[in-house]
């Protein structure tokens, strides 16, 4: 690297920090860089006694925990920058010269907080530059216990829109104090100890009045008598938001909210309200949101038509612990004139225990989009109520005590606009195919079934299958879906169970019955078919067994095949000639070497057939008879049967090999044949399966020695 490139390299590296050095920020301050658009300087430290000079890009200055005494020129250094926002937090300030602020011409926001030593009477003397830019005055946590009536008298030429005196110690307010703030929109007096507030003199421009966390025991009176003595008029004609959260208000009466014609939002949470009277919103035709939550246990009575309002669209009554299950309200009238309600929150209360009262209460609310009934002690899900809310989009039923509902159609039917359904923390064990109508279930975006005591048994099969195919978002699945049953699966994730190889019968008992029945039917049919198919083989088996093991002991062989020219004489009819010559002969003669006498081949030409038969029968040791329908029909063959029967009488049944080539129909059965079949067992010819068995039995029979027969049998 030569010197030149090194220098260029260093220059490039140094450039940003050199630029930063041009900002002249006091060592006890942090100034945002030129490039950032925060334009903020923050100074800290008790040893800082003055306001230093800031770089010109700084618009916002925050002095935090310094130690300032501000004389006439105390803020001079601030006149060199375009100061828009000035914040003083805990700087031990006890004095500010009245003219200190006069040359801060761009100031828009002044925030003085935690300056406990700064007396209100010092502050009220301050002279501000009469700029319309000064809009936000914030005085927080400075232990002010009162506001002088002329406190803001010097601000009439400014355009203060936002006054915030929060977290002080004010106990009584006369709104005359604010009367010179003729552009005031937001008046915030939160977190004081205000017990009474006289609204007279309040700028009528105020649209938001925030009085939360004070000690008011009644809703401030916003009405004033007309000058002409004819009736009353509103002090706050444009008031849109009234925040009275966290006070000590115990009653809301019909007149409580009078003279607020533009009121849209009423926040009155956390007040010990004991009774809500009729028609409390009668004078608030623009009212759309009411928050009446966190009442504790004090709410004891709600009068008829209390919420009579055609404009009210959102009513939050959470944590009221109100007993809707008792007689302190009228279920028929409570919401009957609140037909524009789209959101209703009644969480943490006690809903009626009967379906009828629930219906009376909810049926007027045809436009509901959000209904929240968490922790309302529901032990069952009512029928035909939710389907009535055809535009309902969100339904929360968490932390109740119902286990099941079975008839999904009457509980959730028709709710095709439903997108979010929350059912966590109940006692649901099993989700069935019928628990939700499928169109409703599939149009959901979110379903929450967390923390229910799921049963991980085969009854859950439908749900575990649905989970795998679902498109709906199951909130916090799988961590919060756990089995409680059976005991051995306690605390196992439902997902793990669903993914395990569950050995479950089909979910419908009827199906399982049908399957068992059809299985047994099928096996029966198979069994019968096999039985029928194998009948011949079975018979042949028995035949073979007899041939093999039915030898009488102690008898000696009477004759021997070697004594004869032919091993066997074959009797068959012409129709079966094909089989005898093509199948029987090759197998017995060629494969087994047993010599057979066949009349077509072996008979001597010229001799009569009867003579031939007699002659060759004598030359043969055994007789094979091939039986078939054709055989039965042939008279000639019948005659041969008579002849061979004579042999049986002499040598016993072992002399025969009776082969039933085809089963003989009963109509062709003759007496001779029957006598023959009775005299000796027959072997059935079986092609394909069982053919081997046939041949083994046939050959075994042919080879079986003839035994002496007792004369008694002759």
Ligand X SMILES: *[C@@H]1O[C@H](CO)[C@@H](O)[C@H](O)[C@H]1NC(C)=O
Residue 138 interacting with ligand X (CB under 6 A): yes
Least CB distance from residue 197 to ligand X, whole Å?
19
Residue 537 interacting with ligand X (CB under 6 A): no
The arrangement of strands across the sheet holding 596-597 comes to 596-597, 566-571, 620-627, 656-660, 682-684
Q: What is the dihedral of CA 507, 508, 509, 514, to 10 degrees?
A: -110
Contact 389, 370 (CB under 8 A): no
Instruction: Give Rg (Cα) of the chain.
Output: 55
| 303 vs 630, beta carbon nearer ligand X | 303
Question: Binders of ligand X among 23-42, rule CB under 6 A?
Answer: 26
| 176 vs 559, beta carbon nearer ligand X | 176
**Site for ligand X (CB under 6 A): which residue of 103, 500, 526, 529?**
103
- Bridge partners (DSSP) listed for residue 625: 571, 658
- Bridge partners (DSSP) listed for residue 371: 344, 395
530 vs 535: CA distance, rounded Å: 8
Residue 403 interacting with ligand X (CB under 6 A): yes
558 vs 669: CA distance, rounded Å: 33
Least CB distance from residue 288 to ligand X, whole Å?
7
CA atoms within 13 A on the CB side of 363: 12
Q: 601 to each of 327, 588, 613, how far by Cα in Å?
A: 117, 15, 13
Q: Which has the closest alpha carbon to 442: 425, 464, 421?
A: 421
Q: Which stretch binds ligand X (CB under 6 A): 99-107, 149-157, 322-330, 500-508?
A: 99-107
Residue 662 interacting with ligand X (CB under 6 A): no
Q: How many residues interact with ligand X (rule CB under 6 A)?
A: 56
CA atoms within 13 A on the CB side of 621: 22
Q: Which stretch binds ligand X (CB under 6 A): 14-22, 49-57, 358-366, 678-686?
A: 49-57
Query: 355 Cβ partners below 8 Å, 6+ apart?
Result: 380, 382, 383, 385
Residue 52 interacting with ligand X (CB under 6 A): yes
Q: Which stretch binds ligand X (CB under 6 A): 5-13, 170-178, 398-406, 667-675?
A: 398-406
210 vs 189: CA distance, rounded Å: 6
Question: Binders of ligand X among 446-465, rule CB under 6 A?
Answer: none
**Site for ligand X (CB under 6 A): which residue of 6, 30, 38, 46?**
46
Residue 425 interacting with ligand X (CB under 6 A): no
Pairing relationship of beta strands 314-316 and 343-345 according to DSSP bridges: parallel
| 350 vs 477, beta carbon nearer ligand X | 477
Residue 77 interacting with ligand X (CB under 6 A): yes
Least CB distance from residue 285 to ligand X, whole Å?
7
Least CB distance from residue 487 to ligand X, whole Å?
18
Residue 279 interacting with ligand X (CB under 6 A): yes
The vertex-594 CA angle with 589 and 595, nearest 5°, equals: 80
The vertex-506 CA angle with 503 and 510, nearest 5°, equals: 140
> 590 in helix, strand or coil?
helix
311 vs 615: CA distance, rounded Å: 126
Question: Binders of ligand X among 302-361, rule CB under 6 A?
Answer: 305, 308, 310-311, 313, 337, 340, 342
Closest residue to bound ligand X by CB = 404
Residue 152 interacting with ligand X (CB under 6 A): no
554 vs 643: CA distance, rounded Å: 30
Q: 528 to each of 211, 525, 543, how far by Cα in Å?
A: 92, 5, 22
**Site for ligand X (CB under 6 A): which residue of 29, 41, 50, 497?**
50
| 309 vs 701, beta carbon nearer ligand X | 309
Least CB distance from residue 230 to ligand X, whole Å?
20
**Site for ligand X (CB under 6 A): which residue of 362, 405, 497, 616?**
405
Contact 107, 128 (CB under 8 A): yes
Q: State the DSSP code for 581.
A: I
704 vs 628: CA distance, rounded Å: 24
Residue 428 interacting with ligand X (CB under 6 A): yes
**For residue 107, is the peptide bond before it cis, meaning its omega torsion is within 30 degrees of 0?**
no
Least CB distance from residue 210 to ligand X, whole Å?
12
| 187 vs 430, beta carbon nearer ligand X | 430
Residue 159's H or E segment, with its range, is none
Least CB distance from residue 357 to ligand X, whole Å?
19
Q: Which has the closest alpha carbon to 673: 635, 709, 621?
A: 635
Residue 289 interacting with ligand X (CB under 6 A): no
| 164 vs 684, beta carbon nearer ligand X | 164
**Site for ligand X (CB under 6 A): which residue of 396, 414, 450, 540?**
414
Residue 379 interacting with ligand X (CB under 6 A): no
Least CB distance from residue 453 to ligand X, whole Å?
12
| 92 vs 363, beta carbon nearer ligand X | 92
Residue 422 interacting with ligand X (CB under 6 A): no
> What is the contact mask toward ligand X in residues 161 to 200, using x (rule: CB under 6 A)?
---x------------------------------------
Q: Which stretch binds ligand X (CB under 6 A): 401-409, 446-454, 560-568, 674-682?
A: 401-409
29 vs 31: CA distance, rounded Å: 6
Q: Which stretch binds ligand X (CB under 6 A): 208-216, 354-362, 430-438, 548-556?
A: 430-438
| 282 vs 492, beta carbon nearer ligand X | 282
Residue 410 interacting with ligand X (CB under 6 A): yes
386 vs 556: CA distance, rounded Å: 99
Place of tokens 């000058």: 227
| 483 vs 561, beta carbon nearer ligand X | 483
**Site for ligand X (CB under 6 A): which residue of 36, 37, 145, 520?**
145
**Site for ligand X (CB under 6 A): which residue of 135, 140, 243, 393?**
140
Least CB distance from residue 690 to ligand X, whole Å?
54
Would you list the DSSP string of 103-143?
Answer: T-TT--EEEEES-TT--HHHHTT------TT--EEEEESS-
**Site for ligand X (CB under 6 A): which residue of 53, 363, 451, 502?**
53
E strands in 328-418 = 343-345, 370-372, 394-396
First to last CA, the chain: 133
> What is the contact mask toward ligand X in residues 200 to 239, using x (rule: CB under 6 A)?
----xx-------------------------------xx-
The vertex-495 CA angle with 493 and 497, nearest 5°, equals: 75
Least CB distance from residue 99 to ligand X, whole Å?
4
| Positions that interact with ligand X (CB under 6 A) | 26, 46, 49-53, 67, 69, 72-73, 76-77, 87, 89, 92, 99, 102-103, 111, 113, 116, 138, 140, 143, 145, 164, 204-205, 237-238, 279, 282, 305, 308, 310-311, 313, 337, 340, 342, 384, 387, 403-406, 409-410, 413-414, 428, 430-432, 435
């Amino acid at each position: 690297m030569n010197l030149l490139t090194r220098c260029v390299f260093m220059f490039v590296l140094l450039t940003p920090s050199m630029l930063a050095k041009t900002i002249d920020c006091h060592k006890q301050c942090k100034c945002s860089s030129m490039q950032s658009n925060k334009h903020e300087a923050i100074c800290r430290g008790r040893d800082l006694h003055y306001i230093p000079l800031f770089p010109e890009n700084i618009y916002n200055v925050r002095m935090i925990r310094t130690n300032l005494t501000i004389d006439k020129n105390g803020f001079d250094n601030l006149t060199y920058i375009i100061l828009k926002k000035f914040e003083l937090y805990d700087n031990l300030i006890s004095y500010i010269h009245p003219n200190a602020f006069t040359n801060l011409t761009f100031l828009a926001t002044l925030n003085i907080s935690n300056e406990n030593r700064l007396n209100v009477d010092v502050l009220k003397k301050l002279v501000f530059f009469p700029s319309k830019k000064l809009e936000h005055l914030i005085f927080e946590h400075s232990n002010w216990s009162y506001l002088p009536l002329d406190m803001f008298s010097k601000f009439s030429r400014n355009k203060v829109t936002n006054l915030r005196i929060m977290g002080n110690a004010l106990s009584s307010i006369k709104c005359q104090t604010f009367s010179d703030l003729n552009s005031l929109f937001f008046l915030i007096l939160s977190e004081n100890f205000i017990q009474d507030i006289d609204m007279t003199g309040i700028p009528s421009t105020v649209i938001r009045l925030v009085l939360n966390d004070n000690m008011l025991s009644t809703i401030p009176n916003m009405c004033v008598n007309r000058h002409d003595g004819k009736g009353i008029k509103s002090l706050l004609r444009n008031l849109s938001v009234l925040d009275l959260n966290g006070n000590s208000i115990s009653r809301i009466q019909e007149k409580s909210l009078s003279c607020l014609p533009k009121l849209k939002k009423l926040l009155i949470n956390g007040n010990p309200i004991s009774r809500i009277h009729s028609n409390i919103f009668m004078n608030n035709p623009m009212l759309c949101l009411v928050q009446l939550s966190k009442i504790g246990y004090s709410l004891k009575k709600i009068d008829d038509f209390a919420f009579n309002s055609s404009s009210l669209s959102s009513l939050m009554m959470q944590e009221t612990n109100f007993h809707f299950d008792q007689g302190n309200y009228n279920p028929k009238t409570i919401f009957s004139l609140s037909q524009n309600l789209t959101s209703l929150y009644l969480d943490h209360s006690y809903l009626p225990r009967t379906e009828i009262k629930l219906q009376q209460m909810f049926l007027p609310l045809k436009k509901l989009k959000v209904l929240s009934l968490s922790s309302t002690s529901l032990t069952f899900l009512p029928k035909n109520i939710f389907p009535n809310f055809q535009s309902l989009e969100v339904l929360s039923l968490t932390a109740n005590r119902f286990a099941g509902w079975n008839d999904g159609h009457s509980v959730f039917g028709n709710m095709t606009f439903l997108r979010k359904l929350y059912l966590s923390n109940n006692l649901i064990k099993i989700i069935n195919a019928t628990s939700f109508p499928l169109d409703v279930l599939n149009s959901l975006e979110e379903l929450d079934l967390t923390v229910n005591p799921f049963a991980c048994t085969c009854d859950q099969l439908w749900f575990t299958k649905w989970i795998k195919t679902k498109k709906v978002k199951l909130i916090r699945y799988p961590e919060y879906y756990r089995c409680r049953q059976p005991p051995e699966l306690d605390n196992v994730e439902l997902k793990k169970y669903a993914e395990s190889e569950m050995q479950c019968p089909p979910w419908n008992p009827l199906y399982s019955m049908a399957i068992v029945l059809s299985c047994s039917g099928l096996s029966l049919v198979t069994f019968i078919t096999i039985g029928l198919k194998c009948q011949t083989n079975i018979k042949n088996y028995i035949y073979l067994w007899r041939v093999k093991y039915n030898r009488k002991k102690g008898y000696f062989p009477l004759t021997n095949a070697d004594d004869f020219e032919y091993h066997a004489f074959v009797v068959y009819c012409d129709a079966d000639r094909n089989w005898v010559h093509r199948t029987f002969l090759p197998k017995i003669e060629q494969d087994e070497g047993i010599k057979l006498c066949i009349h077509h081949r072996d008979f001597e030409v010229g001799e009569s057939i009867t003579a031939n038969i007699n002659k060759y029968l004598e030359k043969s040791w055994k007789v094979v008879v091939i039986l078939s329908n054709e055989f039965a029909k042939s008279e000639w063959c019948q005659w041969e049967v008579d002849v061979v029967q004579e042999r049986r009488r002499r040598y016993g049944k072992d002399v025969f090999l009776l082969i039933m080539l085809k089963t003989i129909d009963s109509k062709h059965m003759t007496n001779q044949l029957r006598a023959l079949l009775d005299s000796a067992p027959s072997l059935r010819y079986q092609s394909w399966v069982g053919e081997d068995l046939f041949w083994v039995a046939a050959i075994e029979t042919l080879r079986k020695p003839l035994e002496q027969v007792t004369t008694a049998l002759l």
